[in-house]
C-alpha cells in the first residue's frame, strides 16, 4: 500500500513475530469458544452457582462503578485543572494499583480493614467487620479499577480548554453550569471510555477479592472466583462462566471501538 516508508530489511522476521504474538493472544479465545457443545453450555448455565455468581458480579461491579464515577469525576477534574505539585504527585500515586499486583492489594486491604488492620479496631468498636463481606468485594473492585477511570477522566478533562469555561462564564453561566454544560459534555467520551475500562477491570477482579473477601458462594463469590472454584469440580461450568465474561469483554471492546461513529450518528450525522 502507500506505507512503503515503513518497510525495513527486517520485514520478513517482523511479520513472523507479529503473527506469532497475535496468534498467541487470540488462539486461547478461539479454543474456549469451540471447546464446549451447546448441551453442556445449557447445563452449566442452569447450575445453581451460575446465577448467584452472575448476579453478585453484576451487583458489586455496578456498585463499585457508580461509586468510582461519583467520587472519581471530581478527582479527575481537579487533577486536570490544577497545576500544583500536590496534583501531580496525587496523579502519579493514583496509578499505584495498576502496577501493584492484585494479590498485594488484597493483603494491603486486609492490613487496612482487617480485624488487626489499621482501621479494623475502630470499625470493630462500632460493630463493623468488612472482610469477607459483599462490601469488601466492592472495596477491592474500587481500588483496582478506579485508577483506570481517574486516569482516563483526567486526560478527558484536559481536552476542555480553559477559554471555553471562561466564555461559558461570560455568557452568564455559573461555575456549576460551565462544568455541567461545557466541561462534562466535552469530556464525556473519554469519561465513558474510562468507566468502561474500570468496569471491565472490576468484573475481572480476582486476586484482591480472593484475599480480602474470600471465595464464599452466594456471598463473595464473583464470576472470576466461581471459575476458579468450578475448575476443581465441573470444568463445563468454568467454561460457561468464561464464555460469559469473554462475551462481555468483546461487547465492551466493540462498543468502545465504534463509539465515536455512534456518537456522531446520534448527533444527527451532520459531520
Q: Which residues bind another protein (CB under 8 A)?
A: 161, 163-164, 166-174, 177, 181-182, 185-186, 188, 267-268, 270-271
Q: How far apart are CA 120 and CA 113, in angstroms?
A: 5
The smaller minimum CB distance to another protein, of residues 150 and 183, is found at 183
The smaller minimum CB distance to another protein, of residues 128 and 171, is found at 171
Q: Which helix (H) or strand (E) holds 98?
A: helix 96-99
What Å distances lie between residue 42 and 56, 102, 232, 246, 251, CA to CA? Answer: 20, 32, 19, 17, 21
CB of 199 to another protein, least distance (A): 24
The smaller minimum CB distance to another protein, of residues 59 and 169, is found at 169
Q: How far apart are CA 80 and CA 154, in angstroms?
A: 5
Angle at alpha carbon of residue 224, lines to 194 and 19, rounded to 5°: 70
CB of 181 to another protein, least distance (A): 7
Half-sphere exposure of 180 (CA within 13 A, CB side): 5
The smaller minimum CB distance to another protein, of residues 152 and 223, is found at 152
The smaller minimum CB distance to another protein, of residues 67 and 184, is found at 184
CB of 166 to another protein, least distance (A): 6
Q: How far apart are CA 181 and CA 260, in angstroms?
A: 20
Angle at alpha carbon of residue 264, lines to 263 and 268, rounded to 5°: 115
Question: Which residues, at least 6 apart from 131, have a Cβ–Cβ distance to it below 8 Å?
Answer: 109, 110, 113, 114, 115, 212, 213, 214
The smaller minimum CB distance to another protein, of residues 115 and 263, is found at 263
CB of 94 to another protein, least distance (A): 27
CB of 266 to another protein, least distance (A): 12
The smaller minimum CB distance to another protein, of residues 186 and 246, is found at 186
Q: How far apart are CA 170 and CA 67, in angstroms?
A: 33
CB of 68 to another protein, least distance (A): 24
Q: How far apart are CA 55 and CA 170, in angstroms?
A: 48
Q: How far apart are CA 149 and CA 156, in angstroms?
A: 10
CB of 268 to another protein, least distance (A): 8
Amino acid at each position: 500500500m502507500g506505507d512503503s516508508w515503513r518497510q525495513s530489511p527486517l520485514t520478513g522476521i517482523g511479520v513472523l513475530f507479529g503473527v506469532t504474538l497475535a496468534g498467541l493472544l487470540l488462539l486461547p479465545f478461539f479454543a474456549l469458544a469451540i471447546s464446549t457443545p451447546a448441551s453442556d453450555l445449557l447445563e452449566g448455565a442452569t447450575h445453581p452457582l451460575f446465577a448467584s455468581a452472575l448476579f453478585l458480579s453484576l451487583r458489586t461491579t455496578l456498585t463499585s462503578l457508580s461509586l468510582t464515577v461519583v467520587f472519581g469525576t471530581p478527582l479527575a477534574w481537579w487533577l486536570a485543572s490544577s497545576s500544583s505539585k500536590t496534583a501531580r504527585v496525587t496523579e502519579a500515586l493514583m496509578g499505584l494499583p495498576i502496577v501493584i499486583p492484585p494479590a498485594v492489594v488484597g493483603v494491603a486491604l486486609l492490613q487496612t480493614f482487617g480485624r488487626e488492620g489499621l482501621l479494623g479496631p475502630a470499625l470493630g468498636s462500632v460493630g463493623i467487620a468488612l472482610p469477607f463481606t459483599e462490601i469488601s468485594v466492592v472495596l477491592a473492585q474500587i481500588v483496582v479499577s478506579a485508577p483506570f477511570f481517574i486516569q482516563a477522566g483526567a486526560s478527558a478533562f484536559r481536552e476542555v480548554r480553559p477559554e471555553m469555561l471562561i466564555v461559558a462564564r461570560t455568557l452568564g453561566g455559573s461555575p456549576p453550569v460551565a462544568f455541567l454544560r461545557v466541561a462534562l459534555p466535552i469530556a464525556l467520551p473519554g469519561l465513558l471510555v474510562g468507566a468502561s475500562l474500570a468496569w471491565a477491570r472490576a468484573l475481572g477482579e480476582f486476586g484482591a477479592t480472593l484475599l480480602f473477601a474470600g471465595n464464599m458462594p452466594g456471598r463473595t463469590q464473583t464470576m472470576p472466583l466461581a471459575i476458579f472454584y468450578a475448575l476443581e469440580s465441573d470444568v463445563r461450568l468454568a467454561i460457561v462462566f468464561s464464555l460469559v465474561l469473554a462475551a462481555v469483554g468483546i461487547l465492551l471492546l466493540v462498543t468502545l471501538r465504534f463509539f465515536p461513529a455512534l456518537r456522531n450518528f446520534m448527533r444527527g450525522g451532520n459531520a
